[in-house]
Amino acid sequence: MLTITAELRDQIVAHARADHPDEACGVVAGPAGTSRPERFIPMLNAARSPTFYEFDSGDLLRLYRELDDRDEEPVVIYHSHTATEAYPSRTDIAYANEPGAHYVLVSTAECGNDEGPVSFRSFRIVDEVVTEEEVRVVASYPPGSDEDHAGSTTG
């Protein structure tokens, strides 16, 4: 299960809407070993494509160095689908190389840049096997807790 704050969910959705019709992409980092998403890091889609996303290799190298310096890891790797459902494509599955990460997909197919409905789903992708998981949205994380013990569902 992915437990995420409403603020982080809203930041991911806002990024997806802002980049539409191109796919948006980014990372939510958290303290190493906690599975707790905390720091929103929007990235540039170097492909600038409505059907594909690609992290810029230089940006990605800088990101991983920064994560290492801060003792963080990518807890959520997100991107948007602009014309299809929020489900990993064959390309998404092939490029998924963080077995511990939650892969979040946001579909802006219905709303585009507008405030209409979006689909927000999370998946685990390990060895090209996709497993959808529940998303629990909370107002905040209890102090000192791992995400697995976060508060109640709010959305």
Each residue's pLDDT tens digit, 90-147: 999 999 999 999 999 999 998 888 788 899 999 999 999 999 999 999 999 988 655 4
pLDDT of residue 146: 56
pLDDT of res. 155: 36
Rg (CA), the chain: 15
For the CA atoms of 65, 66, 71, 72, what is the dihedral angle to 10 degrees? -100
- Per-residue pLDDT averaged across 55-78, rounded? 97
CB 81 within 8 A of CB 108: yes
Q: How confident is the model at residue 25 (pLDDT cuts 50, 70, 90)?
A: very high
Q: What is the pLDDT of residue 145?
A: 59
Sign of the CA dihedral 47, 52, 57, 58? positive
User: In 3-state terms, what secondary structure has residue 51?
Assistant: coil
H/E stretch holding 95 reads: helix 90-95
| pLDDT of 65 over the 80 cut | yes
- d(CA 22, CA 53) in angstroms, rounded, equals 8
Is residue 17's pLDDT more than 70?
A: yes
